[in-house]
Structure 1
Amino acid sequence: MKPLFYTLLLLIGVTACNNDDDKAAQDPVSLLPAATQTGENTFGCLLDGEVFLPSGGINPLDCVYQYVDGGYYLGLQGNKRNSDGDLIMIAIGTNGLQIFQNETYQLLENINGNAQGIYGYRINNYYTSQTYTGELTITKLDTENQIVSGTFWFDVQDNQGVVHQIREGRFDMQYVR
């Protein structure tokens, strides 16, 4: 009788386990900042499936939108150091390209008139291109209060041929001119 009792107890214990415990904690997107539009100075994305949030250092978060030499330039970046102390940067930029609320821009190569995505690792920067592209959507542009908010995703290829995927990007920044 005892072996049957222990077998039933083991069977109940195994089937009672729930592999679905707290899915929100397992979902990295749930760890990103909310997609706000009030100038909260937030930035986050998934970098190769892992949560990327700016932290530490001298300038973990920066946003500039200005008119210079006949063109508009947006520079938005988040920086952090990994566990080895290497600097990692995720950035979005425009070269001579004015942005507008509720518009989507292709992230292409780093040339005048384009928007581009940038992944920086240590001292190297890798840009979107005609082959590895992405998108930037401006969900809010308030030039009076200097707020820019939006979403982004992009791919870049590094010098070793590894394609890095930046996904679920979102930001809500107060910019300087």
Structure 2
Amino acid sequence: MANEVNPIKDPKDIRKMKAALAGRDRLMFVMGVSLGLRIGDLLTLKLGDLRGKEEIKLREQKTGKPRRIKLSKTVKNEVEKLDGRNDEYIFRSRQGGNKAISRVQAYRILNAAAERAGIAGKIGAVGTHTLRKTFGYQLYTQGHDITRIMAILNHSTPAMTLKYIGITRDEIDAAYDAIEI
């Protein structure tokens, strides 16, 4: 079984991660947490896929399903800052040529940033899937219905989505404690 990674739950920790990253790496984090894409789909994006667009359309690598994602103001603002041709990968490897960074490199970038941000020990394992899980968790804490999040993440059950975004027994118990009539 693969190592389980966790969402970043605390908005302060999200800000610390952003501050621990710069340039292409910061953009990868911002887009990953803002779009909820799997890392394989995120790394294949090219400048022309986002530049001047209100939404992106892609076919998910894992499921083969088509997906349409509206771009937030944050993502559009970040994309406007990018230089390069439309056919260039957004997350270009520094090895030269027009190649995207690898999943392994994305993992290394995120882990190093979590260490610099001082949150690695606090949140537990960090990986490329942390971005997607953080996206789902933040939607949940903003009050979005679990069935909507389930549909966005292409999950088959609400229980799967709750487990995926890291809703713990303590958080469920706290919700019960909050109801005092």
TM-score range, shorter chain: under 0.3
Larger RCO, structures 1/2 (Cα 8 Å, 6+ apart)? 2
Give TM-score scaled by structure 2 length. Answer: 0.24
Relative to total residues, which structure has the larger helix share, 1 or 2? 2
Of the two, which has the highest radius of gyration? Answer: 1
Relative to total residues, which structure has the larger strand share, 1 or 2? 1
